[in-house]
Amino acid sequence: MSATDTRTRHTFVVRLWHEPSELAPPGQWRGSVDHLASGDQRHFLTLRDLCDFIVLQTEREGPGPIQIDVHDPSVASAHPAETPTVIDERL
């Protein structure tokens, strides 16, 4: 990258894990995402929630938000929630 490069870059670390449940088999996938520049972290249950966090971070810093079509079947959850759920507490 040259000194005159004006690209805006964001780095995210995404972690996914499966939590089995005897009460609700087969359990649930969970995740967390860190935006390295701001230090913001979010826990999520759906890919839509992950995408919402990425859009929020790119709106705050840079030329504008990234465009993610959460209605695209490749992005939407296999079992989409009626209302996106974001867990703000740290696990």
In whole angstroms, give the CA distance from residue 40 to residue 33.
8
Tell me whether strands 12-19 and 28-35 are parallel, antiparallel or unpaired.
Answer: antiparallel
Residue 77 has pLDDT above 50, yes or no: no
pLDDT value at position 63? 72
Place of tokens 């079947």: 73
> How do residues 8-26 score in pLDDT, each as one tens digit?
888 999 999 999 988 888 8
| Mean pLDDT, range 67-87, rounded to an integer | 53
Give the rounded percent of residues in the chain with a pLDDT score beyond 70: 66
Question: The pTM is what?
Answer: 0.64
**Which is more confidently placed, 46 or 69?**
46
Residue 78 has pLDDT above 50, yes or no: no
